[in-house]
Amino acid sequence: MRAYDPFARGPFPVGVRTLELARGGRSLPVELWYPATDEYAGKDLAEATRDRYELIPGFPFVWQEAVRDATPRRGRHALVAFSHGYGGHRRQSTFLCTHLASHGYVVAAMDHTGNTMLEVVQGVMTLRSGGTLPHPDTVLREFVVLRPADVSFAIDHLLGTDGLVDADRIGMAGHSFGGWTTLTTTARDRRIRATSPTTSRDSSRISRVRGARAPRLIYWTPPFGARVRPECGSRARAGRRAGRSRPSS
């Protein structure tokens, strides 16, 4: 038996479907990736059968390594909810979502409608035509409230559907503003057992979101051009002590 390699694509073909949900008068489309049955083996990678979708009307089509509406594999699978960044979209990280699905996870990523790439493009067109937009702080304050609720709503829906998801195995990941959304949702929704937020800056502050107690692995990228110092102080000393005390394998 081969050793498990989380970085290699998993053993399962990947299916994808789109759920058209709505919450509070806002459309809330959710992209759902999942392990598919063996009849789709290789079809998720083949150019002729992998999924193609229109990101923004009028833009070229984009592809992802999944088969549209493939038959899901039987059983209840661990769920990973994914939250996109400010001005992103639910399919911004298909490389990650399809990879997780190939390892047996169900991955659900929703558009935080009003805070997606589509609204950014529409905003640019509005400004070019002489219009005005709300102040960014106004938008930010609005979505500080809406984003965590979007995620919990999507989880509610998935748990109430066809038995694809294991309610006892739910995790969450997110990028940038989605990283903040991940930790804040975890603090409010105790069904989420583990998190992996990917943030672009201020990792130390985002990691201290009040009440976010689930185990977490935080990826941090320093601002462009910044100098990165090695860990120092009490945190580094604690790490060195832990390293010395670790039993040999």
Domains of the chain, with CATH numbers? 14-245 (3.40.50.1820)
How far is it, in rounded angstroms, from Cα 113 to Cα 29?
8
Strand arrangement, sheet containing 14-23: 67-68, 14-23, 26-35, 106-110, 77-83, 165-175, 194-199, 219-220
pTM, rounded to two decimals:
0.80
Residue 11, CB-side half-sphere exposure with 13 Å CA sphere = 6
Tokens 């709503």 locate to 153
Residue 205 has pLDDT above 70, yes or no: no
72-103: b or e for each residue (b if 16 or more CB lie within 10 Å)? bbeeebbbbbbbbbbbbbbbbbbebbbbbbbb
Structure-model confidence comparison of residues 222 and 148, the more confident one? 148
Tell which residue, 45, 26, 44, 47, has the closest CA to residue 36: 44
Determine how β-strand 51-54 pairs with β-strand 61-64. antiparallel
pLDDT tens-digit readout, 90-114? 999 999 999 999 999 999 999 999 9
pLDDT tens-digit readout, 10-43? 999 999 999 999 998 999 999 999 999 999 999 9
Residue 151 has pLDDT above 80, yes or no: yes
Tell which residue, 94, 101, 100, 28, has the closest CA to residue 70: 101
